[in-house]
Amino acid sequence: MQAPSSIGEFIQELSKRGWLKRIEEEVDPCLEITALSEPVMKAQGPALLFERVKGAACPLAINLFGSRERMGLALGVEELTEIAERLRSLMQMELPQGLWAKITMALPKLKELSAFAPKQVKDAPCQEVRLLDQAASLDILPILTCWPEDAGPFITLPQVITADPESGKQNVGMYRMQRFDQRTTGMHWHRHKGGAAHYNKAKALGRKLPVAVALGGPPAAVYAASAPLPPVMDEFMFSGFLMGRPLKTVKALTSDLMVPAEAEVVLEGYVDPAEPWRREGPFGDHTGFYSLADDYPVFHITAVTHRREFVYPATVVGRPPMEDFYLGLATERIFLPLLQMVLPEVRDYHMPAEGVFHNLVFVAINKEYPGHAYKVMNALWGQGQMMFAKVIVVVDAQVDVQNPQAAWWEALNHIDPARDILFSKGPADALDHAAELPWLHSKMGIDGTRKWPEEGFKREWPDRIEMTPEVQKSALAKLQKWGLL
């Protein structure tokens, strides 16, 4: 199975497997598409292609990534863990001792990675139609007004591309964009994110920051924009790694930014750090609550390019689980080997839907010394976007953290709250509306592991209840014979 090269190819593949529903009846991008899509997402229903959207010249695709199977198909695998295994083998650098041995071991791996460097092309589908200056307009897009108290229509599945003003190294992030008018939107990159870092550099240098926004392209590239890659890792290279072949890129018309050649639509323009920020939001967010209005930079559009025939890809976020849960799940599975490189004691981790990524993380560890659970919590709070984790629950290795009920059962049995809860403090996700201050909150680590005498626990620790295996086996056979199983 090959990862699709474009949204069109992905739609065809989904259609072949019966994982896509085409809707011919006209629908309204203002609230109605959300009201139609949310129940389908919650029921783990198919991807939806709305062929006639009121006032729009193009169809709208939604819920493309909304199941484990579709997320796998987007990345060309049956199971997301296949990618984790590929990544694990790429990262196996620990073997040799000594510099020469390290170099000889690392070289073939690096060669493997460089095979995924983006490949520049001259003629790109995303530039078949070129609308410049006054001709460039957001009016060609069926931008969704998702929820009743939203401040307006929002582009919800964009790949926002910027470059470091000094090094030229690009970043791609998925940041929602509120439509202000035909050629202006908000740019909702939170202050901790890659786009904001480039903005700050441009501001210090007194320059405008060129920005390009790709809609669609290879599904792997859409996903990569949402992945919490460390700044050294290039999203386009990562997309190539995911696809198993280089991402095709083309130079934007009005800047030096490179954009995915297979995108459906590209919005080109700039953010000017000299311009005052503008009120953005509220927006019905993936926490299931409205994220509050706040001031953000403004994106000015100077060109729009698109395929002759194009589809507008979108998502709707809201009370979980929604489509974005599966984008997050892909990240969780793919990044496990990277996490294990720094924390080899982590057997598995899971961010359940109700925790909306940053509110709750379960971690199963091979506990090897007193206080090990605390080492892991503190280390996680120091890893990239894990810094936002509000509650971390650490349990012993044998606990299945993919099953939140099992994880809570074990952890709640094993804690004495005054002893086993660590309160800490650190950066809060912008969407944490309960944080005492914006961007800053307290954190809670729960040590749900079995306690050791060396940790001061002198009482007897009970065993889990398990039936004697032979007795259970013969009982199950009897239950089957009696038709009870």
Ligand X SMILES: Cc1cc2nc3c(=O)[nH]c(=O)nc-3n(C[C@H](O)[C@H](O)[C@H](O)COP(=O)(O)O)c2cc1C
* Catalytic residue numbers, as ranges: 285
CB nearer ligand X, residue 317 or residue 363:
317
317 binds ligand X, rule: CB under 6 A:
yes
Count of residues making up the chain: 485
Stretch that binds ligand X, among 26-34, 53-61, 140-148, 220-228 (CB under 6 A): 220-228
In the complex, least distance from residue 107 CB atom to ligand X, rounded to whole angstroms: 28
Q: Tokens 């056979």 sit at which residue?
A: 477
CB nearer ligand X, residue 156 or residue 305:
156
188 binds ligand X, rule: CB under 6 A:
yes
CB nearer ligand X, residue 317 or residue 411:
317
190: left (phi over 0), alpha (psi -120 to 50) or beta: beta
Phi/psi for 221 (5° steps) reads -75, -35
By CB under 6 A, the residues from 222 to 241 that bind ligand X are: 226-228
Q: Annotate each residue in 323-352 with x if it binds ligand X (CB under 6 A) or - if it does not, as one string.
A: -x--x-------------------------
Beta-carbon neighbour count of residue 484 at 10 Å? 8
In the complex, least distance from residue 229 CB atom to ligand X, rounded to whole angstroms: 6
Phi/psi for 273 (5° steps) reads -60, -15
Contact indicator for 343, 375 with CB cutoff of 8 Å: no
194 binds ligand X, rule: CB under 6 A:
yes
**Cβ-count burial 35-73 (b if 16+ within 10 Å, e if not):** ebbbebbeeeebbbbbeebeebebbbbbbbbbbbbbbbb
Per CB under 6 A, the list member of 3, 77, 87, 174 interacting with ligand X is: 174
In the complex, least distance from residue 176 CB atom to ligand X, rounded to whole angstroms: 4
Per CB under 6 A, the list member of 29, 173, 217, 260 interacting with ligand X is: 173
The DSSP code sequence of 268-281 is: EEEE-TTSPPEEE-
In the complex, least distance from residue 224 CB atom to ligand X, rounded to whole angstroms: 9
In the complex, least distance from residue 227 CB atom to ligand X, rounded to whole angstroms: 6
The DSSP code sequence of 67-94 is: SHHHHHHHTT-SSTHHHHHHHHHHH---
Contact indicator for 284, 322 with CB cutoff of 8 Å: no
Per CB under 6 A, the list member of 50, 147, 175, 180 interacting with ligand X is: 175
In the complex, least distance from residue 391 CB atom to ligand X, rounded to whole angstroms: 19
In the complex, least distance from residue 79 CB atom to ligand X, rounded to whole angstroms: 21
Q: Tokens 């001792």 sit at which residue?
A: 97
CA dihedral for 40, 172, 334, 73, sign (positive or negative):
positive
Contact indicator for 5, 218 with CB cutoff of 8 Å: yes
By CB under 6 A, the residues from 244 to 303 that bind ligand X are: none
198 binds ligand X, rule: CB under 6 A:
no
Stretch that binds ligand X, among 82-90, 192-200, 254-262, 416-424 (CB under 6 A): 192-200
By CB under 6 A, the residues from 372 to 391 that bind ligand X are: 385
186 binds ligand X, rule: CB under 6 A:
no
- Widest pairwise Cα distance in the chain: 80
By CB under 6 A, the residues from 412 to 471 that bind ligand X are: none
CB nearer ligand X, residue 226 or residue 302:
226
Q: How buried is residue 113: exposed, middle or buried, by Cβ count under 10 Å (0-12/13-18/19+)?
A: middle
Binding residues (CB under 6 A) for ligand X: these are 156, 171, 173-176, 188-190, 193-195, 226-228, 315, 317, 324, 327, 385
